[in-house]
Each structure stands twice: as C-alpha cells, then as structure tokens.
Structure 1
C-alpha cells in the first residue's frame, strides 16, 4: 500500500507581496474595525466580572488578614479569631472562580474569537492574516500575557498598552501592542460582516475574488472595416458573471437603419440580405430557408447601415415560436419536472398587466414599472434590455451580483430571468426551492419567493 501525504499549504488570501495583510481586502469583504468605545466597554465588563468574583476575598478574607498582620502575633490572631475556616473558604472560592473565568476567556477567545465582554459589545477577534479564529496560544495566551505584564507598572502600563498603543497603529485598524503580539484584530459584527458566519464569509471571499470580472469599464473597439468582405467584429451581446459575451468572428450580421428594428434587414453568413422572417429583403420567398428568430430583429438597436452584428448564442436553433417579438433572447425551456414552476420566454410588456410588488426581507418594497426591472448591486443593461428600470440593491456581503436578475412584465404573466449571477438565483414555491438556470425565463406567481444570493423577495401580484 502506498501512502500519500498531502503537504500542500493553505493559501492565504488578502496578503501583499511581503506576506502582510492588506486592509483593503478585509474592507472589501465587509469587515469593519471595532469602535474604540465598545472595546473599552468590553474590557470594563470583564474587569467588573473579575471584581465580583473577588468579593468573597475582598470583603471577608482580606479584612481578617489585615487585622492579623497588624497584630503582634499574626498566627495567634488568626487562630483566636475563630473564623479561620471561613477566611480560607472565601479566599479559595475567589481564587477558583477567578481561575475558571480566566481559562474560559482564553478558550473562547482562541477558538471563537470572543469573550463575555466582547460578545456583549458586538465584537469578534480574528487572526489579522487569515481572518479566521486567532488561535489559543498566540491569539489568546500571548496577548493576555502582554496585557497582564502591563499591570506590573501601575496605571502607566495599562494606559500605554491598552489605551494609547492602538493610536499608533500604522494601518489605522486600532491594533495595540497586545494585538501585535497576538496577531489579532477586533472587528465590529453589528455594523459589518461577522467573520464566524461561515456561509456569508465564503460568499464574501468568492465575490471579492471574482468582483473584478463584474467591473464595468470602457473597452477598446475591436471592430474592423465593414467594407472588407467576410470581415467580423467583436460586438458585446450580453453580460455574464465573467463580463461581456461577444459575438464570434466570421458569422457577421448587419442591421439597417430602420428605426424600431421591426423592418430591419439582416445579412446572413453568406452575405445575402434577409428580412426578420428569414426571406430575402425586397424579394418574395423562394423555397424553404432557415428562418431567423424574431427576437433577433426586435432586440437590435438602430445602428445604421454597415454595422456588423451577431445574434446571442442563447437563442434556440429551432424554428421561432408564433407570437409577438421577444425583447430578450432566452434558452429553450427545460423539460418540466413534477412540481417545478412553469418556464416561458418573456414577451413584450402590456399596459393591462397586473400590479406587481417585491417585498425584500430588509423591508424594501419595489413596484414593477413598465416593461420590468433589472436588479443587482449596480445593474447595467445589456443589448435588448430597452425599457427596463435599473434597481440597485444594497448588499454589504456582496452576495448579489452587480447585474443579478431581470423581472419582466407580460400581458398576463411575470417572468424572472437570472443574468448569470455569481451566486445564482432560486424560486421558492409551496415550500420547494427551484434554481433558476442562467438566461432562462421562469414564470412566477403571487406568493412565490425569489432568492438572490442571501436576499429574499416575496412576490405579490394583483
């Protein structure tokens, strides 16, 4: 038998070239520095508990010991007092309770990043490099040894180590000398991300790693001359979680300047002009031809003559369905599963459509106007999204993509389309959760719940 030993090291994210933690990475995850006032509050709570635990010693044992020390014969004074057993019991109780409390604090801080005072103040401690639990020995024991050593110099030591040293942190993250020694950092879990929430932390790390792909930037034009025969051009067609999906070279379509796109002519790959129905422009149909999907013509913006254009790859290869043109191209409907929501392509908006309201779990209510809405942290429309209202959703954990989901109004139905979001979308109906395939429209109804990353939105229609 051959034994394999995995000697791979755990990759630590958010470090610079010298292996030092980058504050901007932690900020991108949603971690916030714990306020100094609440850190003082947490320390005060823990010191108050220690004082309470020392009360038996301070109120019973200490006065007797001081009186005995002031007498000529301390041993005789303790024996004659008649309460030597009570003195010893009170001193032992205070010592045992204090020791148990300190050990509990060390274990909680090393394994959970919290203590009694920090839990009450909404603070957690993490390792400054890994943003995970600080560890028992360095994160807890070493740190508390430095804090304890500061009390060897009365008043001045604690003031310097606890109160003043965080002011000299070069990274301005409130880390004092004890935190430097223990490699710890205290974060605010009331107003920021809780690093011990495994699901949200995983989503935040994944989003931070892929967020650059969602950044909108001005891309240089890669278009070539339309006069050159057989020339192609890179035309942005739609968006995905990795950026913009472009048309492949070689299969060039050209839209005319006919406004609205309804009467636009399209140049097929062979170079012949055809109308949106798939017949030669300006000539009657002669023989069977491969039809062009009506959504291709309807989604083309008036671009002027000679502008190369390629239809989205999300269009089905089969013949187009009957009915009005589609504003957004979608994938073919998947086979229906028992209990799964109906799947449909989004048709054009109708003024007679019912009123629709989305109620988010944050309390936000959004009415569905016009043809529909495009939801995300910073949504941006793709070609064919004409008439959609952009609805930005605040999401500190970044579980929602910048362009996450489209909700489209129809004459008698509402269509939800996931826009290739990073964390996906789902629909809850009758207690069952159904994932939304990217780019595929799904009919929703009143009472359904949409899942967008970590956010929930209840749909009310009518």
Structure 2
C-alpha cells in the first residue's frame, strides 16, 4: 500500500497511544466513583443478620456507568462517521472500513466489544458482587478481573504487530473488517477517496472513459408538414414583397431551398404558448442529461423513502471519490436545488462569477444555469436544454 496508493498502516505503538488517550479519562472517572461507592458501604446487625447499605455505591456506580456509556456512544459515532477520535487525531491515525472510507457505527461498536471484552466482564462481576453482597470478597474478585481486562484490551490494540499481512490488521480489525492508517506519514483515505484514492492515485491501466452522445443533441428534429386550415391566408405585407424582389435581384444572396424547412410562418389569430423551461447537466466527460424533476447522482444511486420516482444517474468513478448516492437534484425548469446527501468527500458549487461555495450536508442550495457543481473528483455544468 505504501507504493502507488501512498497508504501507511498505523504502527501498534500509535494505536495503543490513541486508545489510552481516548479512554484514560472515562476509565479513571469510573474507577474513582466505584472506589468511593464501595468505600461508602456500611453494615448493621439486626436480628442476627448483617444488613449492608449500598445506596452510595448504587448512586455513584449509576453515575459512572451513565457517563461512560454516553462517552462511548459519542466517540463511536464520531469515529464511525469520520474515522477520527481525540486519540486518533493526536497520534495522527484514522480508522477506515475495508474500502478506505469511514468505518461506520456498527464496525466501531464491534471493535469496541472485542477490545473491551475483559473490562465488560469486570463490570458484570461488579454487578454480581453488589447483587449477591459479596463485598468481603470484592477485592479478590474485581482486582484480578480489572487487571486482566486491561491487559486484554492492550494486547488486542497492538495485535496488528503479529499480522503477517504487513501488520495491517489487529484481532479486532479482523472481526469488524476495519483498517487503521497513519495519516502523518501517508495519505488519509477517508478524506481522499478510499483505498484507491483520487484519480492521481488510481492505477494507470484503468479503461478510458466512454464518451456517450448527448440524448438531447442526438434527438432528430421533427419537420412539420403542411397544415390544412379553413382560415384564408392573408397576403404578405409590402415589406415582405420587398424582400422577395431584393432576393430575385441578387441571386447570390438567395437562401438555400432547405432553409424554408426551419422557418415557421405565424398565422394571425393563433396563440403561441411559451415553451416549457427544461434544464440539463453536462458532465466533465462530455455526456449530457436532460433533467426530470427529481434526480439522484452517485456511483450507484438508490432512492430513499419517498423517492421511488427519482431519476437515477450513475456516474463512473474509478477513484471512488463519489458516494453511492452523492447528490439530490430538484428542478423546476428554471433553476436547480442541489443537496449533498452526507457524502464522504463533500460537494461544492461555483457560480458563473467564479465564487465557489462548499455545500452543507443535507441543506439544499439553489443554483442557476451556468453554475458548476463539484462532487468528489467529478463535476457537471448546469444549462438549458
């Protein structure tokens, strides 16, 4: 990967450093709260029975567990959408799926389960100790479990060191089908089009783009024939006679007979309706598309709920810089609403006066003919059909 693709797998040391930075604070807080909770347990004897007061443990344990869960969900959400965490950023690494894009919440959750299996076992043991009131044996049970859980997490994080495939994946990466890259010494695939990268990183033996003739330009014009009418044709005005005389006097300026095919005579009293405005887009590979009302563009666009009638325009993207459903277009014939569908690499528009503006994901932006829309490494121009 370090060749043409310019990718560098994250070193085990950087992985471990990122994990420590991410989880040191919440684990420390949870440990302190549980320690105070266990220290606050009191016992009284009543009728020959020992009654333990665990109200403080329950309170502090609930607060600590709640904070840890909220923190874990926030970290997993951010990493799932961007491959980034506080530790990843400070250590210069990024998590990714097998294609080099953001790993997703499910994959991050699975990695966390594998990594923190020992800690989860210690937490379960703490609950059992509180339920069955094994407080005298708590240090003998929870101490070793916490040490073993921490050791297991550290071993899993650095397990990529034993991967024979270029130290690419740890045990948790294999379970979740994820990758971790060093973005200081190599490329960040999440922000530059995945494993294959943008066109500058694409293999040189890719097939050339096939240029397809515009369906609008190739449409054969319909030549109207004579129209029967009971309305008498009015004689031409004197100006029209002058035109015919001038043409006859100067044969070299006479129009070609075929030119009459393109001329339409307007009859008196006939209403002429304004033509319906239609927009088209011209891709950077020369292909034209006439737009219907709702259009979805991407590598392999698919409609969401309520978009079953959308026009689907798949765009070839060897560099995988375009998301599967990258853009949503909505036209009224005179202008175009463009919405970025939370794509990985984002979108932007350049107005006819040269002003470029990045699109906010999920926020429609109105553009007029003459605008250029950028999505991934591809572009298209908006114009009239």
Common fold by TM > 0.5: no
The alignment's TM-score, normalised by the length of structure 2, stands at 0.41
Relative contact order: is structure 1 or structure 2 higher (C-alpha 8 Å, sep ≥ 6)?
2
More helix as a share of residues: 2
TM-score by length of 1: 0.34
